[in-house]
């Protein structure tokens, strides 16, 4: 069995440049870990002078990769599955207008994450957070409430077109309008529970949105 003294001698046997490189690398790792712990502590700690002064810097570091919330535990665990779905109104090359079927973007994200040991936070959170922003900034009639509502609509349109424009326009068609809806399905109670709930999905359907050049991915054509 190799002793601690053997390890010390093996390091000492390295050349001076090698020892310098190892020392610098160890210091860099220690500094990176300290910065990460400090950022996460300031993010979750009660508001204080430093977190107020450096709020933008802390948020830029934490989101989206290190986002944290307590929805799994308290006060109200999530009891619904919400899927965001989209369809488009296309204008074909011969001038015919047609509507596509509904595409479940949430299901596609889930498929990309499933069995992935290191799933992207974009796949996990981009669509979900965008939909939460839209719901929280619109009234019951799906009307935008203030600038955040308009921003949320542009954000969702951008997400949809980034993901779907190539598929929709592959045959030379042009995307004229898109429509987004959510499908909310209650999570079934465990087998041992006597609770009875309806498994019928509930839909929230937004109005048709006109697609503009600003909604298209860079370099995409919507002729």
Q: What is the pLDDT tens value at each position of the chain, 223 positions in all?
A: 555 555 555 666 778 888 888 889 999 999 999 999 998 888 888 888 888 888 888 888 887 667 666 665 655 666 789 999 999 999 988 889 999 999 999 999 999 888 888 888 777 889 999 999 999 999 999 999 888 899 999 999 999 999 999 999 988 899 999 999 999 998 888 888 787 888 889 999 999 999 988 887 765 555 4
- Give the whole-angstrom CA distance, residue 200 versus residue 140: 20
Give residue 138's Cα distance to chain centre. Answer: 20
pTM above 0.75, yes or no: no
Domain boundaries, the chain: 4-62, 80-215
Q: Which helix (H) or strand (E) holds 90?
A: strand 80-91
Cβ neighbours for 106, distance < 8 A, ≥ 6 positions apart:
82, 83, 84, 85, 127, 128
Residue 82 phi/psi, 5° resolution? Answer: -115, 120
């Amino acid at each position: 069995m190799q002793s601690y003294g053997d390890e010390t001698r093996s390091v000492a046997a390295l050349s001076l440049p090698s020892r310098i490189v190892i020392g610098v690398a160890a210091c860099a790792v220690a500094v990176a870990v300290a910065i990460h712990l400090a950022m996460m502590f300031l993010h979750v700690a009660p508001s204080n002078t430093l977190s107020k002064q450096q709020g933008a810097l802390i948020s830029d570091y934490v989101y989206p990769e290190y986002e944290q919330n307590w929805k799994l535990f308290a006060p109200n665990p999530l009891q619904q599955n919400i899927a965001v779905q989209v369809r488009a109104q296309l204008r074909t090359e011969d001038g015919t207008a047609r509507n596509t079927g509904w595409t479940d973007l949430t299901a596609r994200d889930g498929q990309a994450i499933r069995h992935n040991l290191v799933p992207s936070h974009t796949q996990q959170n981009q669509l979900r957070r965008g939909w939460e922003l839209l719901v929280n900034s619109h009234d019951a009639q799906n009307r935008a409430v203030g600038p955040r509502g308009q921003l949320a609509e542009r954000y969702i349109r951008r997400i949809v077109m980034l993901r779907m424009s190539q598929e929709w326009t592959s045959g030379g068609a042009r995307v004229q309008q898109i429509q987004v809806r959510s499908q909310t399905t209650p999570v079934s109670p465990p087998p041992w529970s006597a609770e009875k709930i309806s498994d019928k999905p509930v839909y929230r359907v937004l109005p048709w949105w006109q697609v503009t050049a600003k909604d298209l991915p860079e370099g995409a054509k919507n002729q």
